Structure 1
Amino acid sequence: MTTIAVTGATGHLGRLVVESLLSRGVEPSSIIAAVRSPEKAAGLLARGVQVRAADFDKPETLATAFAGVDRLLLVSTSSPGSRLAQHHAAIEAAKAAGVGFVAYTSILRADTTPVLLAADHKATEEALAASGLKHSFLRNGWYHENYTAQIPTATANGGFLGSSGEGRIAGASRADYAEAAAAVLVAEDVKSVYELGGDAPFTMAELAAEVSKQTGTEIGYSDVPADQLVTILAGAGVPEGFAAILADTDVHIKENGALDNPGSDLRELIGRPTTSLSDAVAAALKG
């Protein structure tokens, strides 16, 4: 029986990957939820999933977490300044544990994209390639949820704000990306790189139009210079360094299509069309 481990299994993406594995008929006892706080995974434990402590800042826990693992999904962490060290620790632990395959959640065109956010992903990909472990890079595009989470604020303020101009974003739902990861984890033959994005790229103005249509309230999109966006986001409580990263990403969406993706990898992995923008907005409004 193949043992599959998922890091961050109580997080937004990781928990959906575990659910997708279970829905595919994977035996619960062959799934390991590797999490920082095992008490948060009590629900998975009750369903027969193994739960193991895996704190990326405590490498000694990773050796136990990855023991006996055949296939590992390394979900990128979200700790600014320490993410790369955390990923290195996980790769070293996987290698020491004899893990047979590692899939890593990266970013679109991590090896060539100019966006600041990609730097840690590119370095992690390089470390994983140098490790000698069999691997796949799951280069995820933007989540619909990155934008639909902004709907309440946009509605209250009369519109969305950004610096992406008419740049197109090949977004898809977290569930889409989770299904793709699960598909790779159970597949016999895999590619080393998957460029993953939605079927119908959209602009921020099109997102605003869709929200307007579904809410019956006119919502616009205001495009502002990147430095102004940083100031606005920082004023709203976003750490200035992260605000700069978000603005930088918007600039590259506009200037070189950094988050557009004309490929079909995501659709092929999940075996269906990706979640549409209209469905994502509807789900957010219902939720």
Structure 2
Amino acid sequence: MIGVTGATGQLGRLVIQHLLNRTEASNIVALVRNPDNAQGLREQGVTIREADYDRPETLSAALNGVSKLLLISSNAVGQRMPHHQAVIDAAKAEGVELLAYTSILKADRSPLILAQEHKETEEALQASGLPTVLLRNGWYTENYTQSLGGVLQAGMVAGAAGEGVLNTATRNDLAEAAARVLTSADSEAGRVYELSGDEGFTLADYAREIARQTDRSIEYRALSEQDFTQMLVQIGLPEGFASILADAEARAAEGWLSDSGNDLSRLLGRPTTSLSEAVRDALA
């Protein structure tokens, strides 16, 4: 059986749907904090099991019989390691044969604040001795397109990435890649995938694409890391999280969210979703 943690989250739900296209529902286990939120998956024939990171005693039972496990990184930024370690320990105890982990692009050397917990998790996986495949997901395209309404209202894209190139990828593309790895007949243990979009773009390119599709004037306003942090706080983000996002943008200006290896398109067997397609879909 194939288990997926965080199965009711934004990425997890997409992974489950792609798995349903590739294997029987009876072969899929959705691991969720609250089973009541997974009724839609249950109706599709997926097995639902409670797996609460904060209650490690739920994890071993949840992983019983699971041969392949996708550990989707916890959304508790700053508290991820205890969550991930609990899953790793339970997976080892239950004899999981392959653990796939959704890490971050270039995690082993990235200076992003967000990369630190991913690097620690990768090290914990190596120390565990579990057969592991690393899915180093690039920056989500949705990190930008989900704010299109605000961009249109303000008439500008603001950010701290300067003229840095971003090779973002949509959640759907990354979810499909994970499903392909989990259902692969080949041995995936030991592999590291740097998963990024084929097409790199700058935030100025992003602003121009929005302008092209909406026939509006959209400018790109380059901000300092400090000013971008304050802008994010002003629109309602907690200061700590705002500073983490601003740090990621500043590191993007240095090339840390860019990658031209095309691992993602090779896994998909097709080109990744383009910026123009992502903008079109978000506008729709």
Question: Does the alignment pair 1:206 with 2:234?
Answer: no
* Selected match of 1:80 from 64, 77, 82: 77
Return the TM-score normalized by structure 2: 0.98
Amino acid at match of 1:32: V
Determine the structure 2 residue equivalent to 1:275. 273
Separation in structure 2 between the aligned mates of residue 157 and residue 82 of structure 1, nearest angstrom: 34
Q: Within 2, Cα distance between the matches of 1:113 and 1:151? A: 28
Task: Quote the Cα distance in structure 1 between the aligned partners of 2:219 and 2:115.
Answer: 29
Q: Structure 1 residue 217: deviation in Å? A: 1.0
Task: Name the residue aligned to 2:260.
Answer: 262
> How far is the alpha carbon of 1:239 from its aligned partner?
0.9
Instruction: Please give the secondary structure, in 2, of the residue aligned with 1:176.
Output: helix
Fraction of identical pairs, as percent: 51
Calculate the aligned-residue CA RMSD, in Å: 0.8
The CA deviation at 1:81 is: 2.6
Q: Distance in 2 between matches of 1:9 and 1:47?
A: 13
Report the residue type matching 2:239 in the other structure.
Answer: E
Aligned amino acid, residue 222 of structure 1? R
Q: Which amino acid aligns with 1:162?
A: G
Where do 5+ consecutive residues of structure 2 fail to align?
none
Match of residue 48 from structure 2: 51
Q: Deviation at 1:80? A: 2.5
Q: Is the 8 A contact 2:78 2:117 kept in 1?
A: no
Distance in 1 (CA, whole Å) between partners of 2:245 and 2:209 is 23
Query: What is the CA deviation profile of residues 179-236 of structure 1, one whole-angstrom value per residue up to 9, with x for unaligned ones?
Result: 1101110112225210000000110011111111111111111001111111111122
CA-to-aligned-CA distance 1:131-154 (integer Å, 9 cap, x gap): 000001100001111100111001
Report the Cα distance in structure 2 between the residues aligned to 1:235 and 1:172, rounded to whole angstroms.
27
Instruction: Give the aligned partner of residue 246 of structure 2.
Output: 247
2:199 and 2:207 map into 1 onto residues whose CA distance is: 15
Partner residue in 2 for 1:161: 158
- SS of the residue corresponding to residue 116 of structure 1 reads coil
Report what 2:178 is aligned to: 181
Q: Does 1:134 align with 2:140?
A: no
How many pairs were matched up? 282
**Partner of residue 221, structure 1:** 220
- Paired letter, 1:182: A
3-state SS of paired residue (2:253): helix
- Alignment correspondent of 1:115: 112
CA distance in 2, matches of 1:134, 1:178: 20
Q: Report the 3-state secondary structure (helix = DSSP H, G, I; strand = E; otherwise coil) of the residue aligned with 1:227.
A: helix
Runs of 4+ in 1 over 6 A off after TM superposition: none
Give SS of 1:73's match: strand
